[in-house]
């Protein structure tokens, strides 16, 4: 795999310690990459660059450059610059777009419409199911589900999207060679096969805390809109919404139980004018023509109509959070001895899940 000339120039710039990417971008508006890169190789040139940017400019770190080029040669990643074909068009529109992206997987996914879904790492089972269904629903319609591969909501989004053919993009807050969180190492492999891993951070960059706010601007930047599923008011997901608003992206929010801490963020967004999401059509109806997606709501209704009256009654008594069989029996007005075989049938149909100790929960969101 080969790097473009611009990629090599940018690697030289990125190797200089103490100079921010926005500084190089601003300078590149006045001087070509090739000329800047050439000036870095001589003492006189570095002094001239220092005068231009008002900061001392050090030498090119050849080890850093060789490490990145070696990663490309070994198939660890592909390096894509803002001037290369395949760079996400929407991302070019934001202020200070990353000049370099390190990618692994099918970069052509960037050509398809994309929607970002984010939320809490410490989410409820309800939130996980909603996020997974959103990811799958988008993917079924050929829309790429974008998220950050973090624990919780992000993980569920990617897993749901991988169940269909639309693919998914994970934007990382570390180097593409680092699995973070560690338990998502196998998920990262799956995403690289059916979607794309993407980051602005060079190979070997650890997942430092201050990287993630930077990462969030790319999540919203490559997407048509951002959907929030369970998030506190002060959270990374809400920071992504801030970027989305600044970039002119549409904002969506999934409501939840009022007593849940994870509902505070989405409910605030809805009060502030975000689009309330009850079904996948609520998202795509705003972002693209309805003719692109028809069916999931109808499929869900048809599946429910195939159930017997008593099965529907039990399903109505179930919630996304586990309930004890005695509580289900009370709310459904069906004796426990008769209820257990019905729960087993629902479980076999994929509509119910047993957690042991007499606890059961719904596996579907009914209004979908």
pLDDT, tens digit (0-9, with 9 covering 90-100), for 334-359: 888 889 888 988 888 778 889 988 89
- By CB atoms closer than 10 A (0-12, 13-18, 19+), residue 259 is exposed
Long-range contact list for 326-329, CB < 8 A, 24+ apart? 326/358, 328/360
pLDDT, tens digit (0-9, with 9 covering 90-100), for 261-287: 899 999 999 999 999 998 888 998 888
Give the confidence band of 301 by pLDDT, cuts at 50, 70, 90. very low
- 193: Cα separation from own chain's centroid: 16
pLDDT at 315 over 90: no
pLDDT, tens digit (0-9, with 9 covering 90-100), for 226-267: 999 999 998 989 999 999 999 999 999 999 998 888 999 999
So what's the pLDDT on residue 142?
Answer: 86
CA dist 116 and 85 (Å) reads 22
Would you tell me the crossing angle of helices 336-348 and 309-317 to the nearest 10 degrees? 90
Find out whether 158 and 147 touch, Cβ atoms under 8 Å. Answer: yes
Compute CA distances 45 → 23, 37, 51, 130, whole Å.
Answer: 17, 9, 10, 55
CA dist 43 and 18 (Å) reads 17
- 111: Cα separation from own chain's centroid: 16
Please, what are the domains in the chain?
5-105 (no CATH), 107-294 (3.40.50.450), 299-362 (1.10.10.10)
CA dist 314 and 333 (Å) reads 9
């Amino acid at each position: 795999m080969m790097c473009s000339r611009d990629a090599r120039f940018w690697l030289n710039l990125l190797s200089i310690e103490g100079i921010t990417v926005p500084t190089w971008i601003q300078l590149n508006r006045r001087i070509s990459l090739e000329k800047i890169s050439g000036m870095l190789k001589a003492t006189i040139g570095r002094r001239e660059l220092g005068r231009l940017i008002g900061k001392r400019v050090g030498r090119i770190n050849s080890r850093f450059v060789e490490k990145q080029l070696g990663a490309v040669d070994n198939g660890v990643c592909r390096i894509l610059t803002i001037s290369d074909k395949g760079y996400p068009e929407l991302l070019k529109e934001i202020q200070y777009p990353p000049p370099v992206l390190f990618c692994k997987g099918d970069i052509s996914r960037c050509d398809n419409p994309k929607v970002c879904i984010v939320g809490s790492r410490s989410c409820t089972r309800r939130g996980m199911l909603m996020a997974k269904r959103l990811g799958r629903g988008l993917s079924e319609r050929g829309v790429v589900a974008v998220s950050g591969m973090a624990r919780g909501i992000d993980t569920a989004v990617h897993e749901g999207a991988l169940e269909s053919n639309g693919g998914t993009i994970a934007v990382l807050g570390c180097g593409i060679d680092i699995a973070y969180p560690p338990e998502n190492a196998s998920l990262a492999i799956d995403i690289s096969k059916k979607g794309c891993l993407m980051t602005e951070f060079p190979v070997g960059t650890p997942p430092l805390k201050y990287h993630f706010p930077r990462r969030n601007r790319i999540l919203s930047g490559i997407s048509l809109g951002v959907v929030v599923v369970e998030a506190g008011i002060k959270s990374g997901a809400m920071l992504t919404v801030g970027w989305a608003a600044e970039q002119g992206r549409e904002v969506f929010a999934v409501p939840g139980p009022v007593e849940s801490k994870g509902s505070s963020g989405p409910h605030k967004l809805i009060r502030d004018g975000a689009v309330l999401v009850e079904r996948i059509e609520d998202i795509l109806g705003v972002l693209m023509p309805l003719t692109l997606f028809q069916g999931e709501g109808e499929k869900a209704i048809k599946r429910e109509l195939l159930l017997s009256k008593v099965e529907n009654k039990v399903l109505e008594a179930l919630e996304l959070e586990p309930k004890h069989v005695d509580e289900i029996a009370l709310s459904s007005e069906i004796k426990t001895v008769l209820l257990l075989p019905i729960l087993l049938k629902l479980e076999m149909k994929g509509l119910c899940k047993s957690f042991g100790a007499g606890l059961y929960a719904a596996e579907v969101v009914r209004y979908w």
